[in-house]
Structure 1
Amino acid sequence: MVTTADAKEQAAAAAKELKSRTGADGYDALVVLGSGWTDVADHLGTPDIELDAAELPGFAAPTAPGHSGRLRSLWVGAKRVAVLCGRVHLGEAHDPMAVVHPVRTVIAAGAPVVVLTGSAGSLRTDYAVGEPILVRDHINLTGASPLTGPDFTDLSRAYSARLRGVAADADPSLAEGVYAEVTGPELMTPAELGMLRASGADLVGRSLALETIAAVEMEAEVMGLATVSNDAVGGVFEPFDPDAALEAVRRHTQRLGELLNTVLMRV
């Protein structure tokens, strides 16, 4: 079994290769772009170098729709930022260590700030499709963890209040919510969605939580931002349409890019 220490050692080796390939001494931040977010990279900052992330040790190519396997190194003002234009999920037959390896790698390359993005179904009727929601907390329903061993990792402040404050200053209209990560790839039943709502979840998706756990364990500051891709209030709205869900995010590419650019400039 791969331990947390093993995984961090592998991430350190991959970080060395990343810096060699990009010519970077280190990174000031990492941005992970989720489903439908790939084009946001074009609005983040000044491009520098782009490569196929799967060429780096331990990285796997995403297979989920709306995810690219590219890693872009770019400048946001004077800050060097690594942008992962996609991710892998547990539902793609990857284990938790593989899912979080890219995040661990860029943190090992020096990034103290991690911005995790994604799309999510809304469990609330007051969230509009296409609306970005700041993640205040998460519920990990995958039954998995990217950590092993006897040491505890405190997740009581997993999503940085400071970073949420920076984002709220940049866009006062941003709402906050609790994100539930499930494994997938199957969609949830109406009864399961009702259970999530009763448990306090506002959003449901297949990412963020495991990456956040790994990032917090490595003492990075985390911000989560999920765009509402569809209504997920069981049995009330139309059946899930994956193409429409991706398009709901893509329609807001420029706004999302400008928001993240402003946040990165200020942190």
Structure 2
Amino acid sequence: MTTLPELDEAARVIRHHLPARPSVGVVLGSGLGGWADELADLVKLPYADIPGMPRPAVAGHAGMLCAGRVGDVQVACLQGRAHLYEGHALAKAVFGVRVLARLGCRAVLLTNAAGGIHHSFAAGDLMLITDHLNLMGVNPLVGPNDEALGKRFPDMTYAHDPRLLELARAAANDAGVTLREGVYAALLGPTYETPAEIRMLRTLGADAVGMSTVPEIIALRHMGVPAAAISCITNLAAGLTQRELDHAEVEETARASRARFSALLSAWVRRAGEGAAAGSAS
């Protein structure tokens, strides 16, 4: 497991480049990284310049830490994430969100590209993750527990923070964006699922499937940092169409959804930032 001194060294290097302490952290998934380029007073720092930070090698993940403002809300944003299927150790896959927590973010909003399982979903839909199924076969808390980071057995009843979920719904109303809701199943990858696996996931109650996010949610819950996530449904899962799945299609659909996604995420960040400020003042 990553140690607190390692996280704090990374945070120290990042703080040297930040104009202000961030109150909201954001993680941008496949094809969704363009949102960070719209931040006011934008500062970029390559992951390669941050001690301990893993560098993603998947198309659509730029590997930059971006800092700036959405309105009056100071934001630190991960423009891309490391995945387990790239060969990264589990502790490395959650290193970025743990650093966001150590930077002082009082809420972290995550995004991903996902395959749609629910029969009513279409490519381009945005889905608020209300709960998840960890089917990756791994957990970022396995191994010795560092009590300085969090307790040994964190409760996962509210892993997807209820207040942030409500703020996402309100943000969708602000932005005039339709926001679906559902359960996200996380599998290891990098293969897409078989039609039989999709039928299994539907039986288990999954509405969308992907290869990320859940370890990060667990790590943030461990540290006591409120977190929630939105999926961009970039394709229908295997067996629901006659087409073979392709990562280029995932990126293209994410880019095509950029305007609605950006409007929703910006509104969500504003509301989460206001909530964080109110919480610190009370």
Same-fold status (TM-score > 0.5): yes
* Aligned residue type for 1:85: Q
* Aligned residue type for 2:7: A
- Cα deviation, residue 48, structure 1: 2.7
* Aligned residue type for 2:91: M
What is the aligned-residue identity percentage? Answer: 35
- Cα deviation, residue 253, structure 1: 1.1
Provide the residue aligned with 2:149 in structure 1: none
Helix, strand or coil: the match of 1:176?
strand
- Cα deviation, residue 235, structure 1: 5.7
1:181–1:205 CA contact under 8 A, matched in 2: yes
* Aligned residue type for 1:183: L
* Aligned residue type for 2:197: E
Query: Normalised by the size of structure 2, how large is the TM-score?
Result: 0.88
Provide the residue aligned with 2:31 in structure 1: 36
Check if 1:21 corresponds to 2:17: yes
1:124–1:233 CA contact under 8 A, matched in 2: no
Q: Output aligned runs, 1:40-189, within 5 Å.
A: 40-43=35-38, 45-147=39-141, 148-149=143-144, 151-172=152-173, 173-189=178-194
Helix, strand or coil: the match of 1:266?
helix
Which segments of 5 or more consecutive residues in structure 2 lack a partner in the other structure? 146-151, 273-282
Helix, strand or coil: the match of 1:265?
helix
Greater shift in the superposed pair: 46-55 or 192-201: 46-55
- Cα deviation, residue 22, structure 1: 2.4
CA RMSD of aligned residues (A): 1.5
* Aligned residue type for 1:165: E
1:7–1:101 CA contact under 8 A, matched in 2: no
2:115–2:235 CA contact under 8 A, matched in 1: yes
Q: Which of the numbers 196, 218, 221 marks the counterpart of 1:216? A: 221
Superposed CA deviations along residues 118-153 of structure 1, whole A, max 9, x for unmatched, are: 100011120110111000011111111111346101
Superposed CA deviations along residues 173-193 of structure 1, whole A, max 9, x for unmatched, are: 311111111111112111111
2:81–2:93 CA contact under 8 A, matched in 1: yes
Helix, strand or coil: the match of 1:9?
helix
1:36–1:247 CA contact under 8 A, matched in 2: yes
The separation in 1 between residues aligned to 2:111 and 2:53, in whole angstroms, is: 19
Q: Output aligned runs, 1:167-246, within 5 Å.
A: 167-172=168-173, 173-234=178-239, 236-246=241-251
Superposed CA deviations along residues 89-124 of structure 1, whole A, max 9, x for unmatched, are: 000001110000010011101001001101000111
Greater shift in the superposed pair: 216-225 or 165-174: 165-174
Helix, strand or coil: the match of 1:154?
coil
Superposed CA deviations along residues 146-182 of structure 1, whole A, max 9, x for unmatched, are: 1134610111101111111111112243111111111
- Cα deviation, residue 263, structure 1: 1.2
The separation in 2 between residues aligned to 1:154 and 1:14, in whole angstroms, is: 28
- Cα deviation, residue 47, structure 1: 3.2
* Aligned residue type for 2:222: E
2:130–2:183 CA contact under 8 A, matched in 1: yes
- Cα deviation, residue 233, structure 1: 4.5
Helix, strand or coil: the match of 1:62?
coil
